[in-house]
Amino acid sequence: MTISNKTLTQAQSMIPNPLNQITRFFMTIKMNRAILNDLKELLADRIVDNMSTKDLEEYVLNDLFTYYDKLSEHEFLDEAREYWCDEEQFNEIVQEVRDWQEVPSE
């Protein structure tokens, strides 16, 4: 037995979508950019306030990894060199990572 697209669409339209109610609610409130930005800032502040130190640390680590992962290799290496400030210290860190990975130096 197959269900036609029309029947499926009719069935889906009968199921209430809570997001539609939320969207309609917010559409009735005329929010300007400043109110929306303040609401975003308040939400972010409340979420951070309710995070444990461990959760916050994990979130920041994941966010930084995602940020670095999206950079090109050149951009990432520039960021890393800038963080470690001098080339000698950067090279020592690279060697430590190679040792951890047991990858022979080039």
| pLDDT tens figures, 80-92 | 999 998 899 999 9
Amino acid letter for position 29:
I
Residue 45, H or E segment: helix 33-49
Instruction: List Cα–Cα distances, 87 to 71, 78, 80, 101, in angstroms.
Output: 20, 11, 10, 21
Mean pLDDT of 20-46: 79
Looking at the predicted structure, is the pLDDT value of residue 54 above 60?
A: yes
Instruction: List Cα–Cα distances, 59 to 12, 49, 52, 70, in angstroms.
Output: 36, 13, 10, 17
> 17 pLDDT band (50/70/90 cuts)?
low
User: Which of the two residues, 63 and 26, has the higher pLDDT score?
Assistant: 63
> Do residues 68 and 78 make contact, with C-beta atoms less than 8 angstroms apart?
no
